Chain A
């Protein structure tokens, strides 16, 4: 039985109404009501920015690329077909824009043989004597979000990009592969590694007192 995953509720309460409203907005913009475009993309502006930031690692560039991607989506809105998810289409445009920006600015460090070996090798998650779950409520605290963002930022680019698209943008494996131009197998390998590394980073952070000021109850070990 499939695990349930937390899905972003970025639009409105009722998903059916939300989807209908979105379709209406898309058609209106396609028919020329350009002033409605911002209303259409507003629910996704954070996701678009996050996707750009995951690739560019620079807030200024990420914002600029996010805006460029939105404008590109606007310019090509007539080409959007209802069979695709609008959010996915938007994220894919953003990823393309960000990758192009990175290539243009020549900030890419070519992956060496060691990097590929690193990806293919087994990763052994660390064994922590005292592990506690961080409850979702903790995300209300800015310092927790900041710690999580810092941990994500320490990941190698190839792991970070896959993780962000899959686990933060909620693209599926195939969409993530297409957006990044890599194979499905690579997505799965990198995603596994990214999740395990983040698990280790958060657990280590706990040991180092990252979350010590937070009023978490000491969790019961799940084993």
Chain B
């Protein structure tokens, strides 16, 4: 801390910068003013320092290379386009990804309708080439769909008519007797093998066995 009452040149020089910035208290400022009235060197230092601050603080001292603004604008335009395209870029990714997810989901759903637990039986036999608009019947409490008139329809009182496509979408699987020509795997391992006569429950057992 400088004692304002006993200023020498070194003290003044050490506070010149604060003085120029207006960061000295009134007492010190007064003492420095008094000192500089009689000290040519310190007055010169103060004037020179002010001159430096004024000159370098002038906007004209901030020069940029020719074309700087144009190049900056160009790069910013490019950069903002990149940022602006973040969402469009994402959407460009998201659209095909979403499409793939939908397709995959559809395939899984279709697959599950024919292979998975969406079947009313966990052991469905895959069918192929069943005409989707083939008229079939299902009955309440059963797991198979049949061609109309199949003797293995479980409960004819609750018989309901629909297309093969709709039946499969509801989780029914084809009767291995009346629709065996469409089964990928016959009960005997050979397409078209005969199934023993019996109730639909027996068919279910056989279907289950074939699935294993």
Contact of B56 among A7, A67, A163, A192 (CB under 8 A): A163
* Chief secondary structure at chain A's binding surface: helix
Given A38-B72, A127-B41, check contact A46 B63 (CB 8 Å): yes
Given A47-B62, A202-B52, A221-B40, check contact A125 B13 (CB 8 Å): yes
List which A65-102 residues lie within 8 A (CB) of chain B.
Answer: 66-67, 70-71, 74-75
Q: In the complex, which residues of chain A have a beta carbon less than 8 angstroms from the beta carbon of B64?
A: 45-46, 49, 63
A196 to B51, CA, bound (A): 11
Q: How many residues of A contact B (CB 8 A)?
A: 61
CB of A158, distance to nearest CB on chain B (Å): 15
Asked whether A203 is an interface residue with its Cβ less than 8 Å from the other chain, the reply is yes
A199 touches B79 (CB 8 A): no
In this complex, the member of B41, B49, B61 whose beta carbon has the largest number of chain A beta carbons within 10 angstroms is: B61
A46 to B72, CA, bound (A): 11
A9 touches B59 (CB 8 A): yes
A49 touches B68 (CB 8 A): yes
B53 touches A167 (CB 8 A): yes
Asked whether A16 is an interface residue with its Cβ less than 8 Å from the other chain, the reply is no
Asked whether A6 is an interface residue with its Cβ less than 8 Å from the other chain, the reply is yes
A122 touches B14 (CB 8 A): yes
CB of B52, distance to nearest CB on chain A (Å): 5
Asked whether A50 is an interface residue with its Cβ less than 8 Å from the other chain, the reply is yes
A167 to B58, CA, bound (A): 9
B48 touches A37 (CB 8 A): no
Given A134-B55, A148-B55, A223-B36, check contact A49 B83 (CB 8 Å): no
Asked whether B16 is an interface residue with its Cβ less than 8 Å from the other chain, the reply is yes
Report B42-79 CB contacts with A as 1/0, cut-off 8 Å. 01111111111111111111111100110111011101
Contact of B80 among A9, A46, A74 (CB under 8 A): A74
Asked whether B84 is an interface residue with its Cβ less than 8 Å from the other chain, the reply is yes
Q: Which residue of A lies closest to B80 (CB)?
A: A34
Given A127-B44, A140-B60, A145-B63, check contact A34 B49 (CB 8 Å): no
B56 touches A148 (CB 8 A): yes
A188 to B15, CA, bound (A): 10
Contact of A191 among B17, B48, B72, B83 (CB under 8 A): B17
Asked whether A124 is an interface residue with its Cβ less than 8 Å from the other chain, the reply is yes
A184 to B204, CA, bound (A): 87
Q: Which residue of B lies closest to A141 (CB)?
A: B60
Q: How many residues of B contact A (CB 8 A)?
A: 50
B56 touches A152 (CB 8 A): yes
CB of A36, distance to nearest CB on chain B (Å): 9
B76 touches A71 (CB 8 A): yes
Asked whether B103 is an interface residue with its Cβ less than 8 Å from the other chain, the reply is no
One of B18-26, B157-165, B166-174 contacting the partner: B18-26
Q: In the complex, which residues of chain B have a beta carbon less than 8 angstroms from the beta carbon of A136?
A: 54-55, 58
Asked whether A113 is an interface residue with its Cβ less than 8 Å from the other chain, the reply is no
Asked whether A117 is an interface residue with its Cβ less than 8 Å from the other chain, the reply is no
Contact of B22 among A1, A167, A202, A221 (CB under 8 A): A1
What are 5 of the A-B contact pairs (CB < 8 Å)? A63-B68, A131-B48, A136-B55, A149-B63, A196-B16
10 pairs of A and B residues whose beta carbons are closest in the complex: A2-B22, A223-B43, A199-B48, A223-B40, A46-B62, A192-B17, A34-B80, A222-B47, A139-B60, A71-B79
Residue ranges of B at the interface with A (Cβ–Cβ < 8 Å): 10, 13-14, 16-23, 36, 39-41, 43-65, 68-69, 71-73, 75-77, 79-80, 83-84
Instruction: List 16 additional contacts besides A5-B57, A63-B65, A195-B16; criterion CB under 8 Å.
Output: A3-B19, A3-B22, A6-B53, A35-B77, A45-B64, A63-B64, A122-B14, A125-B45, A136-B58, A145-B61, A168-B57, A195-B53, A198-B56, A199-B48, A203-B48, A222-B46
